[in-house]
Amino acid sequence: MTEEDKKKVKKGELLPLMEAFYTIQGEGYHKGSAAYFIRIGGCDVGCHWCDVKESWDSRLHPPTATKKIVDEAAKYANTIVVTGGEPLMWNLFPLTQALQQKAMKTHIETSGAYPLTGNWDWICLSPKKNKLPLPEIYPLAHELKIIVYNKNDFKFAVQEAKKVSHNCILYLQPEWSNREKMIPLIVDFVMKNPEWKVSLQTHKYMDIP
């Protein structure tokens, strides 16, 4: 990457785009809705069960002009989901500003491990034990999504739920490879703790991106 490109990345004028695609939102509050996903490369949170490990190394994903990303997104949908990797590793103010100027809704899926940049209509916060969210992002989250891989994740979920606002929607989602084991435990937990809801990766059941 040239020095000039590095400066543009820092300003948010270029982003390491891994992929972008139009599909159906498969998880959480907006599941079942059409949305255009922008997946940005780069992540150092390092979840061992991550299903997009190819997103971790931002150097593998060429810096792409933010304007080009927005122009392409505008062809498909008015709801845009920015995900990763960990998208907050980058300056997202130019991206969200350009999207909202075109009357598109801006959603983000993040671990919250980096400072919040960008202007967001919806924030899905998915905390990870090995790199917790920054304190300032908790009260801004619209939904809290805890991935349940083992029984200890229920304790983690309760701890994290204490940090978000009372308006935040609480979700427990089984880690895909361990879903058959964990779904019965999640169902039992939610029935005993009805402030929580179950989230499933419905796009994987439907075999869509």
DSSP string, 18-86: EEEEEEE--SSTTTTSEEEEEEEP---S--TT-S-GGGS-GGGS-EEEHHHHHHHHTTT-SEEEEESS-
What pLDDT, on the 0 to 100 scale, is given for residue 47? 85
Q: Using 50, 70 and 90 to split pLDDT, how confident is the model at 209? A: confident
Q: How far apart are CA 47 and CA 21, in angstroms?
A: 23
User: Mean of the pLDDT values across residues 96-119?
Assistant: 98
Q: Tell whether the model's pLDDT for residue 147 goes beyond 80.
A: yes
Look up residue 17 and give its DSSP letter: E
Look up residue 168 and give its DSSP letter: S
CATH number, domain at 147?
3.20.20.70
Share of the chain above pLDDT 70, in %: 100
Q: Are 142 and 154 in contact (CB under 8 A)?
A: no
Helices 93-101, 66-73: axis angle to 10 degrees equals 40
Q: Which domain holds residue 85?
A: 3-205
User: Mean of the pLDDT values across residues 82-107?
Assistant: 97
Q: Are 43 and 55 in contact (CB under 8 A)?
A: yes
What pLDDT, on the 0 to 100 scale, is given for residue 53? 87
What pLDDT, on the 0 to 100 scale, is given for residue 158? 98
Q: How far apart are CA 5 and CA 44, in angstroms?
A: 22
Q: Tell whether the model's pLDDT for residue 1 goes beyond 80.
A: no
CB atoms within 10 A of CB 166: 5
The DSSP secondary structure of 90-151, one letter per residue, reads: S--HHHHHHHHHTT-EEEEEE---S---S--SEEEE--BTTBPPPGGGGGG-SEEEEEESST
Q: Using 50, 70 and 90 to split pLDDT, how confident is the model at 139? A: very high
Q: Using 50, 70 and 90 to split pLDDT, how confident is the model at 71? A: very high
The amino acid that residue 122 corresponds to is: W
Q: How far apart are CA 171 and CA 126, in angstroms?
A: 9
Q: What is the pLDDT of residues 16-52, one digit of tens each?
A: 999 999 999 999 999 999 999 999 999 999 888 788 8
Q: What is the pLDDT of residues 118-136, one digit of tens each?
A: 999 999 999 999 999 999 9
